[in-house]
Amino acid sequence: MTRTRVIAALVMAPTAIAAILLLPTPWLAALAALIMLAGLWEWLKLAEIDDSLPRTVLVGLNLLLMVLLVWASRSDEGFSPVLFQLATLAGAIGWGAALLWLWRPGFSAGHRPWTRAFKLAAGTLATVPAWAALCLIHSDNFAGLSGGGDPGAHRWLLTALALVWAADSGAYFAGRTWGRRKLAPTISPNKTLEGALGGLVAGLAVALAFGSFAGAGLAQLPALALVAAATVLASILGDLIESLLKRQAGVKDSGDLIPGHGGVLDRIDGVLAALPVFAIGKDIFGF
């Protein structure tokens, strides 16, 4: 399993990096929308929307919401980031509220209609703001959108995603090697405090290295480290929420599309929570 996981990562990582650095923001936004909506498709299945037609309609409505965000952000002067910023902020607040969900996981258990509706709303609140945050970071609040994008902004998106990938891998290997104390035994028994600490260390190291590549000065590194730490913690929260959904649905993976990694949602659960936090932190500290 570890070998398959590594091989799949070696295929996916260069493709993702090339897309982030080389594609203009509109093209990357379209590609990211497809990936995130594929993750939402799996989220809806975990929420017990088993029939393909209702799931297709719900995914289509989320795609429509993304399109409306773009349409409403256009003006004679270009693009305005305000609606994307509001969506990103709503996502970050939603993930903060998700701590209450983890505190009382039984809230969403069972097969009651209102628990299903709650999970559907949570899926939208996880997906659309993360996509909005990705667009903001990659285009530097749309400043470089008309000219094909700002290479420096592209590098900041790579930094945000790379630190989440590093945190995930660091947590996996640190947990397997040193993991003893359970992080959330009733939700995800395999996750440990030692793994979370390993993920935090790996995420911080990669954030500082890639942040320097993106153009962060020495004076900005402490702020970057703070934002990176919050981003890693958010990614862990996203991972735990997906684990809770899978446990309540009685499945091990959200899908089987990616060898050794499960489904699309299994790969982007941490990213969905991390991107809004990173985007807000980047905007606050101005790096």
Cut 0.95: pTM above it: no
In whole angstroms, give the CA distance from residue 189 to residue 224. Answer: 31
3-state secondary structure of 79: strand
Amino acid at 211: G
Q: Which is nearest to 37 in space by CA: 139, 132, 128?
A: 128
Sign of CA dihedral 268, 273, 276, 278: negative
Nearest-10 Cα torsion for 252, 204, 222, 28: -70
Q: What are phi and psi of 35, to 5 degrees?
A: -65, -45
Q: What is the mean pLDDT of residues 90-102?
A: 95
Amino acid at 156: W
In whole angstroms, give the CA distance from residue 28 to residue 19. Answer: 7
Confidence label for 155 from pLDDT (cuts 50, 70 and 90): very high
The confidence score (pLDDT) of residue 147 equals: 46
CA–CA distances in Å: residue 237 to residues 33, 96, 213, 244: 22, 9, 27, 10
Contact (CB, 8 A) for 269 and 242? yes
Each residue's pLDDT tens digit, 168-213: 999 999 999 998 899 988 899 889 999 999 999 999 999 999 999 9
Secondary structure element (H or E) that encloses residue 58, with its range: helix 52-72
pLDDT at 264 over 60: yes
3-state secondary structure of 73: coil
The confidence score (pLDDT) of residue 8 equals: 64
pLDDT at 10 over 80: no
Each residue's pLDDT tens digit, 11-56: 778 899 999 999 999 999 999 999 999 999 999 999 989 899 999 9
